[in-house]
Amino acid sequence: MKAAVLVFPGINRERDMARTLRLISGREPAIVWHADTELPAGTDLVVIPGGFSYGDYLRCGAIAARSPIMGAVRAYAAKGGLVLGVCNGFQILCEAKLLPGVLMRNENLRFICRDVYLRVERSDTPFTRGYNAGQVVRVPVAHGEGNYIADGETIARLEGEGRVLFRYSSPDGMIDPNWNHNGAINAIAGILNERGNVLGMMPHPENHVETAIGPTDGRGLFAGLAEALERAA
């Protein structure tokens, strides 16, 4: 795995992400500044971590999505390169139109930090091969704007094409409004692009990878990616 973690002014979870990537892949990821125009040669995973890039000014991720580095990310994704956007990273991918839809304010209008349960909908993607389809994993969320919205047509396509990878669920995998903390349509927590190489998700799997700290359900995502990239190499 040769990962590149993008940093925009105001991103604040790059250390969490870098540590997790290092722990699981054994390699230190490159940290790439938003003003650069190139990704490091040989990058096989681009990660856009969480935070409040540009202070969430205008709209979450709006200004970051228009940064110089995003041109390189677009080209890389067009060639099939893997991209993972977490929280603010998901918002940036939507603003950059690498993913459809938009993340709006949580239904209860408050920031929420708590552990949630996610049902993994498919295990046949590089991002979820570390899980079983239907498996329920526990990861934290920490966001004020995670309410996924898209028009009816887009939602129908996402569902029809099996591009919803994660949904907020009860601990035993039932979709239930009581377990959807932000009101996202269809309890959508993470989606793939058409080609299947770009994933955006609101929860933070990178914060649940160490036994000493808490649950380790987040490992599966990164371990699966590491394996997929090793096979491809």
Partner 1 sequence: MIPNDVRITPELVAEHGLKPDEYDRILKLIGREPSLTELGIFSAMWNEHCSYKSSKVHLRTLPTKGPWVIQGPGENAGVIDIGDGLACVFKMESHNHPSYIEPYQGAATGVGGILRDVFTMGARPIACLNALSFGGPSHPKTRHLVSGVVAGIGGYGNSFGVPTVGGSVRFHSRYDGNCLVNAMAVGIARNDQIFYAAASGVGMPIVYLGSKTGRDGIHGASMASAEFDEDSEGKRPTVQVGDPFSEKLLLEACLEIMQKGCVIAIQDMGAAGLTCSAVEMGAKGDLGVTLDLDRVPCREEGMSAYEMMLSESQERMLMVLKPEKEKEAESIFRKWGLDFAVVGETTPSKRFIVRHGGDVMADLPIKELGDQAPEYKRPFVSAAKPAVVDAESVPAPVDTVEALERLLAAPDLCSKRWVWEQYDHVILGNTVQRPGGDAAVVRIEEGPKGLALTTDVTPRYCEADPFEGGKQAVAECWRNLTAVGAKPLAITDNLNFGNPERPEIMGQFVGCIRGIAEACKMLDFPVVSGNVSLYNETNGRAILPTPSIGGVGLIEDFAKSATLALKRAGETIILVGETTGWLGQSMYLRELCGQEEGAPPPVDLTEERENGDFVRALILDGTATAAHDLSDGGLLVALAEMAMASGIGARLDAAPSDIPAHAHWFGEDQARYLVTVPADKTADVLARARAVNVPVWAIGRTGGDTLTLAGERPILVTILRERFESWLPAYMAGEL
Partner 2 sequence: MKARVTVTLKSGILDPQGKAIEGALRSLGLVGVSSVRQGKVFDIEIDGGDRANAETLLKQAADKLLANTVIENYKVDVLG
**Is 206 labeled as catalytic in the residue annotation?**
yes
Q: What letter represents residue 229's amino acid?
A: L
**Is 87 labeled as catalytic in the residue annotation?**
yes
How many residues contact partner 1, by CB under 8 A? 29
Q: Which listed residue (24, 47, 93, 150) binds partner 2 by CB under 8 A?
A: 150
Query: Under 8 Å CB-to-CB from 201, ≥6 apart: which residues?
Result: 84, 85, 86, 87, 90, 165, 166, 189, 190, 191
- Catalytic position from the list 34, 87, 95, 181: 87
- Candidates 38-46, 97-105, 172-180, 209-217: pick the segment binding partner 1 (CB under 8 A): 209-217
- Candidates 16-24, 77-85, 193-201, 220-228: pick the segment binding partner 1 (CB under 8 A): 16-24
The reply to whether 31 sits near partner 2 by the rule CB under 8 A is no
With 0-12 / 13-18 / 19 or more C-beta atoms within 10 angstroms meaning exposed / middle / buried, residue 81 is middle
Site string for partner 1, 178-197 (x = CB under 8 A): --------------------
Cβ proximity to partner 2: between 96 and 199 the closer is 96
DSSP output for 11-66: B--HHHHHHHHHHHHSSPPEEEETT---PPTT--EEEE--B-GGGG-SSTTTTGGG
Task: Choose among partner 2, partner 1, none what residue 102 binds, the Cβ cut-off being 5 to 8 Å by kind.
Answer: partner 2
Which are the catalytic amino acids?
87, 204, 206
